[in-house]
Protein backbone atom coordinates (compact mmCIF):
# COMPACT_ATOMS: atom_id res chain seq x y z
CA UNK A 1 0.00 0.00 0.00
CA UNK A 2 1.52 3.26 -1.14
CA UNK A 3 1.79 6.08 1.37
CA UNK A 4 2.05 9.29 -0.60
CA UNK A 5 4.58 11.84 0.64
CA UNK A 6 6.52 14.89 -0.50
CA UNK A 7 10.26 15.24 0.04
CA UNK A 8 12.19 18.41 -0.76
CA UNK A 9 15.94 18.13 -1.24
CA UNK A 10 17.36 21.41 0.09
CA UNK A 11 20.68 20.73 -1.64
CA UNK A 12 18.91 20.99 -4.98
CA UNK A 13 16.14 23.55 -4.49
CA UNK A 14 17.04 26.80 -6.25
CA UNK A 15 13.93 28.70 -5.06
CA UNK A 16 12.70 29.21 -8.62
CA UNK A 17 9.07 29.00 -7.43
CA UNK A 18 8.21 26.87 -10.43
CA UNK A 19 6.34 24.46 -8.14
CA UNK A 20 4.26 27.32 -6.75
CA UNK A 21 3.36 28.52 -10.23
CA UNK A 22 2.63 25.02 -11.52
CA UNK A 23 0.31 24.33 -8.58
CA UNK A 24 -1.58 27.59 -9.01
CA UNK A 25 -2.02 27.03 -12.72
CA UNK A 26 -2.88 23.32 -12.64
CA UNK A 27 -5.48 23.67 -9.89
CA UNK A 28 -6.68 27.18 -10.75
CA UNK A 29 -6.15 28.15 -7.12
CA UNK A 30 -8.10 31.26 -6.07
CA UNK A 31 -6.44 34.63 -5.76
CA UNK A 32 -4.74 35.07 -2.39
CA UNK A 33 -4.32 31.34 -1.80
CA UNK A 34 -0.99 29.55 -2.15
CA UNK A 35 -1.19 25.83 -1.66
CA UNK A 36 2.59 25.62 -1.99
CA UNK A 37 5.33 28.10 -1.23
CA UNK A 38 9.11 28.21 -1.14
CA UNK A 39 10.79 29.03 2.17
CA UNK A 40 14.38 30.27 2.25
CA UNK A 41 16.49 30.30 5.39
CA UNK A 42 19.78 32.20 5.88
CA UNK A 43 18.85 34.32 2.89
CA UNK A 44 21.95 35.86 1.35
CA UNK A 45 24.45 34.10 3.61
CA UNK A 46 26.97 32.42 1.30
CA UNK A 47 27.05 28.68 1.78
CA UNK A 48 24.30 28.70 4.39
CA UNK A 49 21.31 29.67 2.28
CA UNK A 50 18.85 26.83 1.87
CA UNK A 51 15.41 26.72 0.31
CA UNK A 52 12.63 24.19 0.56
CA UNK A 53 9.24 23.95 -1.03
CA UNK A 54 6.48 23.55 1.55
CA UNK A 55 2.84 22.51 1.24
CA UNK A 56 0.61 20.05 3.05
CA UNK A 57 2.86 17.17 4.06
CA UNK A 58 -0.07 14.73 4.24
CA UNK A 59 0.82 13.70 7.78
CA UNK A 60 0.12 10.12 8.80
CA UNK A 61 -1.23 11.38 12.14
CA UNK A 62 -2.60 14.66 10.87
CA UNK A 63 -3.33 17.30 13.55
CA UNK A 64 -5.76 19.09 11.20
CA UNK A 65 -7.97 15.99 11.11
CA UNK A 66 -7.80 15.75 14.90
CA UNK A 67 -8.94 19.32 15.53
CA UNK A 68 -11.56 19.76 12.80
CA UNK A 69 -14.81 20.43 14.69
CA UNK A 70 -17.03 19.25 11.84
CA UNK A 71 -14.87 16.24 10.87
CA UNK A 72 -14.68 17.23 7.25
CA UNK A 73 -11.16 15.84 6.72
CA UNK A 74 -10.08 12.31 5.92
CA UNK A 75 -7.20 10.11 4.83
CA UNK A 76 -7.43 8.32 1.50
CA UNK A 77 -6.10 4.79 1.22
CA UNK A 78 -2.86 6.26 -0.14
CA UNK A 79 -2.43 8.44 2.95
CA UNK A 80 -3.44 11.68 1.24
CA UNK A 81 -5.20 14.16 3.55
CA UNK A 82 -8.31 15.55 1.84
CA UNK A 83 -11.39 17.41 2.97
CA UNK A 84 -15.01 17.95 2.00
CA UNK A 85 -15.61 21.63 1.26
CA UNK A 86 -19.37 21.12 1.55
CA UNK A 87 -18.89 20.48 5.27
CA UNK A 88 -16.04 22.92 6.02
CA UNK A 89 -17.17 25.94 8.04
CA UNK A 90 -13.94 27.90 7.54
CA UNK A 91 -13.24 28.17 11.26
CA UNK A 92 -9.45 28.05 10.88
CA UNK A 93 -8.69 25.49 13.60
CA UNK A 94 -6.78 23.39 11.08
CA UNK A 95 -4.58 26.39 10.27
CA UNK A 96 -3.60 26.74 13.92
CA UNK A 97 -2.97 23.02 14.26
CA UNK A 98 -0.89 22.59 11.11
CA UNK A 99 2.88 22.88 11.71
CA UNK A 100 3.42 23.77 8.04
CA UNK A 101 0.78 26.48 7.59
CA UNK A 102 -0.78 24.43 4.82
CA UNK A 103 -4.49 25.29 5.19
CA UNK A 104 -5.38 28.48 3.33
CA UNK A 105 -8.54 30.53 3.40
CA UNK A 106 -9.75 32.54 0.44
CA UNK A 107 -11.49 35.83 1.08
CA UNK A 108 -15.13 35.70 0.11
CA UNK A 109 -17.84 38.31 -0.19
CA UNK A 110 -17.74 42.08 -0.02
CA UNK A 111 -16.32 42.16 3.49
CA UNK A 112 -13.49 39.67 2.99
CA UNK A 113 -15.02 36.88 5.02
CA UNK A 114 -12.90 33.79 5.51
CA UNK A 115 -14.05 31.21 3.00
CA UNK A 116 -13.81 27.44 3.09
CA UNK A 117 -10.39 25.96 3.69
CA UNK A 118 -8.23 25.22 0.67
CA UNK A 119 -5.02 23.22 0.71
CA UNK A 120 -2.76 20.96 -1.30
CA UNK A 121 -4.63 17.81 -2.34
CA UNK A 122 -1.55 15.95 -3.60
CA UNK A 123 -3.34 16.49 -6.93
CA UNK A 124 -5.90 13.92 -5.78
CA UNK A 125 -9.03 16.07 -6.07
CA UNK A 126 -11.67 15.56 -3.42
CA UNK A 127 -14.88 13.73 -2.62
CA UNK A 128 -16.62 14.46 -5.90
CA UNK A 129 -16.71 12.23 -8.95
CA UNK A 130 -13.16 11.83 -10.24
CA UNK A 131 -12.40 14.11 -13.13
CA UNK A 132 -15.73 15.94 -12.86
CA UNK A 133 -16.16 19.69 -13.27
CA UNK A 134 -17.43 19.93 -9.67
CA UNK A 135 -14.27 18.28 -8.39
CA UNK A 136 -12.05 20.57 -10.44
CA UNK A 137 -13.84 23.73 -9.33
CA UNK A 138 -13.69 22.81 -5.65
CA UNK A 139 -10.38 21.01 -5.32
CA UNK A 140 -8.45 21.25 -8.58
CA UNK A 141 -7.11 18.54 -10.84
CA UNK A 142 -7.17 14.87 -9.89
CA UNK A 143 -3.90 13.65 -11.35
CA UNK A 144 -3.70 10.53 -9.20
CA UNK A 145 -6.86 9.25 -10.90
CA UNK A 146 -4.97 9.67 -14.18
CA UNK A 147 -2.01 7.66 -12.89
CA UNK A 148 0.10 10.81 -12.50
CA UNK A 149 1.85 12.51 -9.60
CA UNK A 150 1.47 16.08 -8.31
CA UNK A 151 2.55 18.55 -10.97
CA UNK A 152 4.73 20.58 -8.60
CA UNK A 153 7.09 17.63 -8.23
CA UNK A 154 6.82 16.31 -11.76
CA UNK A 155 7.82 19.62 -13.31
CA UNK A 156 10.54 20.51 -10.75
CA UNK A 157 13.50 21.43 -12.95
CA UNK A 158 16.20 20.28 -10.51
CA UNK A 159 14.10 17.39 -9.18
CA UNK A 160 14.50 18.86 -5.70
CA UNK A 161 10.86 18.20 -4.94
CA UNK A 162 9.95 14.53 -5.02
CA UNK A 163 6.46 13.10 -4.68
CA UNK A 164 5.17 9.57 -4.48
CA UNK A 165 5.23 6.53 -2.25
CA UNK A 166 7.31 7.45 0.81
CA UNK A 167 9.50 4.34 0.50
CA UNK A 168 10.28 4.96 -3.16
CA UNK A 169 11.18 8.64 -2.82
CA UNK A 170 13.24 7.89 0.31
CA UNK A 171 15.24 5.43 -1.81
CA UNK A 172 15.79 8.11 -4.47
CA UNK A 173 16.95 10.60 -1.81
CA UNK A 174 19.22 8.03 -0.19
CA UNK A 175 20.88 7.28 -3.51
CA UNK A 176 21.52 10.99 -4.05
CA UNK A 177 23.07 11.37 -0.61
CA UNK A 178 25.31 8.39 -1.27
CA UNK A 179 26.42 9.69 -4.67
CA UNK A 180 27.13 13.26 -3.65
CA UNK A 181 28.42 12.33 -0.22
CA UNK A 182 26.46 14.97 1.65
CA UNK A 183 22.97 16.12 2.37
CA UNK A 184 21.46 13.84 4.94
CA UNK A 185 23.33 15.33 7.87
CA UNK A 186 22.62 18.89 6.76
CA UNK A 187 18.98 18.86 5.95
CA UNK A 188 17.36 15.49 5.79
CA UNK A 189 16.58 12.44 7.80
CA UNK A 190 19.31 13.31 10.31
CA UNK A 191 17.62 16.61 11.08
CA UNK A 192 14.17 15.14 11.08
CA UNK A 193 14.83 12.03 13.11
CA UNK A 194 17.76 12.98 15.32
CA UNK A 195 21.46 12.13 15.28
CA UNK A 196 22.63 8.71 14.05
CA UNK A 197 22.67 5.98 16.66
CA UNK A 198 25.60 3.78 17.67
CA UNK A 199 27.30 2.05 14.78
CA UNK A 200 25.83 4.36 12.13
CA UNK A 201 27.83 7.12 10.57
CA UNK A 202 26.42 10.10 8.69
CA UNK A 203 27.37 10.58 5.08
CA UNK A 204 30.89 12.07 4.87
CA UNK A 205 31.16 15.80 4.29
CA UNK A 206 32.52 16.92 0.97
CA UNK A 207 35.94 18.48 1.32
CA UNK A 208 35.81 22.24 1.07
CA UNK A 209 37.94 24.03 -1.54
Where does this chain bind other proteins (CB under 8 A)?
1-2, 70-74, 76-78, 82-84, 86-87, 124, 126-131, 142, 144-149, 153-154, 159, 162-165, 168-169, 172, 175-176, 179
Return d(Cα 199, Cα 83) in angstroms, integer. 43
Q: At residue 77, what are phi and psi to the nearest 5 degrees? A: -65, -20
- DSSP reduced 3-state for 164: strand
CB of 172 to other proteins, least distance (A): 4
CB of 130 to other proteins, least distance (A): 5
The DSSP call for residue 84 is -
Nearer to other proteins, 87 or 113 (CB): 87
C-alpha distance across the termini of the chain, in Å: 45
Checking phi first, is residue 57 left (phi over 0); if not, alpha (psi -120 to 50) or beta? Answer: alpha
Nearer to other proteins, 18 or 164 (CB): 164
Nearer to other proteins, 71 or 108 (CB): 71
Nearer to other proteins, 29 or 88 (CB): 88
Amino acid sequence: MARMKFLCDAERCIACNGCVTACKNENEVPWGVNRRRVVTVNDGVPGAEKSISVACMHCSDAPCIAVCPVDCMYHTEQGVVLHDKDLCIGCGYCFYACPFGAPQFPQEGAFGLRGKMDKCTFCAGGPEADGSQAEFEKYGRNRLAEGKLPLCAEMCSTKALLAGDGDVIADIFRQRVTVRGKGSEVWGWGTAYGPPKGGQKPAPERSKP
